[in-house]
A and B are shown apart, each in its own frame.
Chain A
Amino acid sequence: MGNILIVAELAEGKVRKGTLSAVTFARTAAAAIGGTFDILVIGQGAAGAAAGVTGFGAAKVLTAEISSCKGYVCEHFAPTVAEIAKGYSVVVATATGFGKDLIPRVAAKLDAGYAADISAVIPEGGALTYRRPMFAGNAYGIAKLTTPIQAVTVRQSEFTAAEPSGGSSPVETVAAQPPSAGADRIEFLSFDQVKSARPELTDARVIVSGGRGVKDKFESTLGPLADLMSAALGATRASCDAGFAPADLQVGQTGKIVAPDLYFAFGISGAIQHLAGMKGSKVIVAVNKDPEAPIFQVADYGLVGDLFTAVPELIAGIKAAR
């Protein structure tokens, strides 16, 4: 078969860490089909960011500068990705907001089948099949794509970020293609960034998450524990909808999918949609007043009680135990 093209995601002039999950996928997939992988760094400031991914074993790092728009607009990125991807068997990105927006549109340009948000790649007789969660993670489909070029996004929590492998991939500049039809009808206005000193949910080793039970006391109650544990804050849909926590913190089937070493669930009942986003966590701790809450069915350690007394005790206990 052929080779694999990774589409890297940029933020603030650097390749985002999430891209390294797609590198992990590409190493396995390339070995299985006897090919190599290249990394395409695309966006504003692509050339400057390329150095961040030359040490991961790519045959080449390609850079494409997109100057026809500000920020990320799919119609300005997809034509260039698709043009380059024509020479590959698989085009892959990590299933972030960026990958999930861009890759299906690239697939459409290439008439490529698309396996979304996969949890594993399984080589079968020189071809690739893809394991992907469906029904909020309550069933897994083993998918086969029937097209010569295949489009894939990989779930960040299931593909551990690749470690550098040494060496230095050669960097090549590629020309940007003109934007898609219809691009003249779309304009990037602004990016309202949620600034936080804490780690990103998808990168964090520890997550301190709260549900409706936390009410509007997210920062005052859970913030100190998050800081003590160098953790990210997470939230349920209910608490985001109620405005108790920013939407960006939502963990769940259609929010962030996370798998940290340690996940604290405070005042979270454990709706199916929330469990779908966190049940891959290594250790789950649940504190809830309701002993029947479904969260206890997935928690390694459950404490029935009031989170507002448990959290300060936990902070004191952890400080004393260290």
Chain B
Amino acid sequence: MKVLVPLKRVADPDNANKVKVTADGKKVETTGLEWKPNPFDEYAVETALRLTEDGTKPKTRAGEVVVVTFGPKECEITLRAMLATGADRAIRVEAEDDQLDGWLVARALKKLVEQEKPDLVLLGKQAVDGDTNQVGQILAELLGWPMATSAAMIKEDGEALLVGREVDGGVINLKVRLPAVVTVDLRIVAPASVYSKLTKADFKYNEGVRFAPLPAIMQAKKKPMAVLKLADLATDTALRIQYPRFEPPKGRAAGKKVKDVAELVDKLKNEAKVL
């Protein structure tokens, strides 16, 4: 199976409370925050690796995993990190962040998919900076491919995938024949969430994404990294969404500490009046 994983780097999500809206409201500054791969996209890479291996022999790839990102040269650090965990090659599409919206990324990815001809496009359900959740859906429509969003389980079943989607009130189980677009949710990296047809059903992965050992980090420097221009993939570069301004959130003042449960009950009843 050949899997294409589009990914995005984001400002460190564990310090998202340190982003600042500039005084003129024109920008959200992330200065001082480290770039990290979007967690959901990192899970998509892990999912792609699991789908192209026997879990007991993770060094041998049954198929190919190609990672792609849109951004300036420094994004290659993120791509190299993914190559070190096991992806085979990388593509960087030269672009500035403010030239892009989800729609444009989806249009460019459509062209790239036509060139690369993957069996599966796997990506995170959303990037945790813009918090939009749209690229997978738009891409599927542009390609005329079936899609499954918010996947928490994927099992290879012959030429198809069995996918469990996390939705309100439970899990929708779908059978999807390739080629297809699948976006992944948090629990896709649980120990028993993803099985290729090579991996035995009683095999358990470690929780979370795999780490790259030092030799793999060195080898990743030699793996292929292609650079494309955005104009090679998209002729219509107009944005469908614009942000003329930003606003900081309303702060929430810390309340008071109560000394015991009796005081808490008293406050809830007589001050907050919520009992």
Contact = CB atoms under 8 A, between A and B. Distances in A.
Q: Are A and B associated in one complex?
A: yes
Contacts of B102: 114
Contacts of B169: 11, 193-194, 200, 248
A114 B240 contact: yes
Interface residues of A, number: 99
Nearest to A286: B255
Interface in B1-54: 11, 13-19, 21, 28, 40
A117 interface: yes
B187 A240 contact: yes
Given A254-B186, A321-B269, A100 B149 contact: yes
A52 to B, nearest CB: 18
A314 B261 contact: yes
B265 interface: yes
B173 to A, nearest CB: 4
A302 B170 contact: no
Contacts of A108: 106, 137-138, 140-142
B246 A298 contact: no
A1 interface: no
Interface residues of B, number: 89
Interface stretch (A25-33, A141-149, A157-165): A141-149
Give chain B's interface secondary structure class.
Answer: mixed
Contacts of A74: 137, 147, 149
Interface SS of chain A: helix, strand, loop or mixed? mixed
B134 A116 contact: yes
Interface of A: 11, 18, 71-75, 78, 96-98, 100-101, 104-105, 107-109, 111-117, 129, 131-147, 180-183, 185-194, 200, 202, 206, 237, 240-241, 247-248, 250, 253-254, 256, 261-262, 271-273, 276, 279, 282-285, 291, 296-305, 310, 313-314, 317-318, 320-322
5 contacts: A100-B150, A189-B175, A248-B170, A301-B264, A303-B257
Given A97-B165, A104-B134, 9 more contacts: A18-B168, A100-B149, A116-B133, A138-B17, A143-B241, A143-B243, A262-B272, A317-B264, A321-B265
Interface of B: 11, 13-19, 21, 28, 40, 102-103, 106, 125-126, 128-134, 137-138, 140-150, 152, 162, 164-178, 180, 185-187, 190, 207, 238-249, 252, 254-258, 260-262, 264-269, 272, 274-275
